[in-house]
Amino acid sequence: MSMAVRKKRLTTADITALKGVRPVVSLTAYTTPIAKLLDPHCDLLLVGDSLGMVLYGLPNTIPVTMEMMIAHGQAVMRGVENACVIVDMPFGSYQEGPEQAFRNAARLMKETGCDGVKLEGGAEMAETISFLTLRGIPVMGHVGLMPQQVNASGGYRSLGRTTAEAEKIKRDALAVGHSGAFSMVVEGTIEPLAREISDDCPIPTIGIGASPACDGQVLVVDDMLGVFTDFKPRFVKHFASLAPVISRAVEDYAAEVKARSFPGPEHTFQMKKQPL
């Protein structure tokens, strides 16, 4: 009797191989139920340290810990059958040097079962990326706007508008592209620069606020679904508007509870009738 062959999940090598073939589809994921919904449609799910702001209400990604990333990485892995899963390395877990980065990256992969890690930084991180990849840890790079450096960079803004700024980002991207990384996020850069980086780098560029010139796109899933209504960055498109739907559902629930119309008989457990 033949047995059904389970489809293998996409690997980091599969993601690299998509460059020049078709755009890479990526979204962030932080929980098992959302991962299950995204998995059939995405090539790559990123357990981003953006969870600090999205789920925990933190002002930025700086306070996010290894324990938080591991817990949510484990949750996402329980919900995937198709997508490649990458987990962000939080601030302070890799900047000290290659050895520190390896210890923490190895821990992330061991404890979550993810396919690789992402770290922010350009030329200054090329040695660390090479160190990790030579020791069996796939790495996704991240150049352009780097949220973990928000305190040093002076805030969130689009980059590459000056010659000096553009040249630095290009150097960073090329350094990451030739360091062994399997792909890289390009965030918050003007379109001509993102196009040039994508053309020159040997690995896929995954854009967020970096135009369609990139080799793929990623968005924070809650932004894409329209869960947040107080602020919408220019680069975000709401493919749904869930905030008012959720609000109306909670309003209806509250009204029915107050009116004692919920729970109704169909939601209530009763004594079973005993046979005569």
Give the domains, in start order, of the chain with CATH numbers.
12-224 (3.20.20.60)
What pLDDT score was predicted for residue 158?
Answer: 65
Ranges under pLDDT 50 in the chain: 1-5
What pLDDT score was predicted for residue 229?
Answer: 76
Euclidean distance between CA atoms 196 and 54, whole angstroms: 31
Q: Which amino acids are annotated as binding site for Mg(2+), given as ranges?
A: 49, 88, 120
Euclidean distance between CA atoms 100 and 105, whole angstroms: 8
Q: Which amino acids are annotated as binding site for 3-methyl-2-oxobutanoate, given as ranges?
A: 49-50, 88, 118
End-to-end CA distance of the chain: 50
- Tens-digit pLDDT profile for residues 159-208: 657 888 899 999 999 999 999 999 999 999 988 999 999 999 999 999 99
Residue 23: exposed, middle, or buried by beta-carbon count in 10 A (0-12, 13-18, 19+)? middle
Q: Is the pTM of this model over 0.85?
A: yes
165 annotated active-site: no
What pLDDT score was predicted for residue 261?
Answer: 96
Annotated catalytic residue within 187, 191, 196, 256:
187
What pLDDT score was predicted for residue 1?
Answer: 44
Residue 131: exposed, middle, or buried by beta-carbon count in 10 A (0-12, 13-18, 19+)? buried
Q: Which amino acids are annotated as binding site, given as ranges?
A: 49-50, 88, 118, 120
